[in-house]
Every structure is written in C-alpha cells, then in structure tokens.
Amino acid sequence: MDQQTPEIIFTVLLGGTLIIWVGILLFSKTALRKELQAITLELATMIATGATLGSLYFSEIRNFVPCEYCWYQRIAMYPLALILLIATIRRDKNIIPYALTLWVAGFGISAYHYQLQLFPDQSPFMRA
C-alpha cells in the first residue's frame, strides 16, 4: 500500500459521513431518517472509532507529529470512541448527553484549530 492510499480511504470515509448527515437534514421526514435514527449510536461509534484509529495511524505509523491542538482534540475523541463502543455493546442510549459533551468540546477545538490553519499567524502552536 502506498502512502496516499490511507489518506484517500479516510477522505472517502469523511465524504460518506458528510453525505449521511446531509441526507438526514434533507430527508428529515422520510424513511431514511427513521432508518438512520435506528442506528445512530452505531454510526457515532464507527465515526469516533475511525477517527481514533486514523489519528493513531498518522501519528504512530506515518510518524506525523501532532501539534498541541491535535492533542486537545484527541483528549476529547479517544474517550468518546470508548464510551460510544461500550454504549453500543450495552445498547444504552442514556450515554448521549455525555458523548455529546465530549463531541461539542472536540468540535469546538477542531473548528478553532482549522481556522488557525487557514490564518496561521494567530498562534505560536501552528508555526513549524
């Protein structure tokens, strides 16, 4: 497997995830929404686990050194993957408030991190 293949796989997975969420928004009163609602916990588990495995792949196998904001995002993402996996195995939807809290924290850090990548002069963490 060449070096670009995993990046392509993760990009396709991200694109698929976005298509699913756009589908939920556009077809919110159709059978698609009902079908996706039935497997919401499983989808969230797959997404969080995929993100965790992807970050570990890039840092441990490809030897990309994560910046400080990447670590903050991982602090939110790694336990989220574990919590969602346990909830999926136990079929416990009561975990949603806890998972949502971690997701919001991670998303906020990620959004801030992304805008720093667009405008890098704002933070000393983003300078190479």
The whole-number pLDDT of residue 3 equals: 65
Place of tokens 């077809």: 27
Digit-by-digit pLDDT tens for the chain (128 residues) are 666 776 677 777 777 777 776 777 676 677 766 777 778 888 889 889 988 998 898 889 888 888 888 899 999 999 999 999 999 999 998 988 899 899 899 989 988 888 888 887 775 655 55
On the 0-12 / 13-18 / 19+ scale of CB atoms within 10 A, 123 is middle
pLDDT in tens, 51-83: 899 889 888 988 888 888 889 999 999 999 999
Q: Which of 99, 110, 32, 116 is nearest to 71 (CA)?
A: 110
The whole-number pLDDT of residue 121 equals: 77
The whole-number pLDDT of residue 41 equals: 86
| Contact predicate 51/81, CB 8 Å | yes
DSSP sequence for the chain: --THHHHHHHHHHHHHHHHHHHHHHHTTTSHHHHHHHHTHHHHHHHHHHHHHHHHHIIIIIS-PPP-HHHHHHHHHHHHHHHHHHHHHHHT-GGGHHHHHHHHHHHHHHHHHHHHHHHSGGG-GGG--
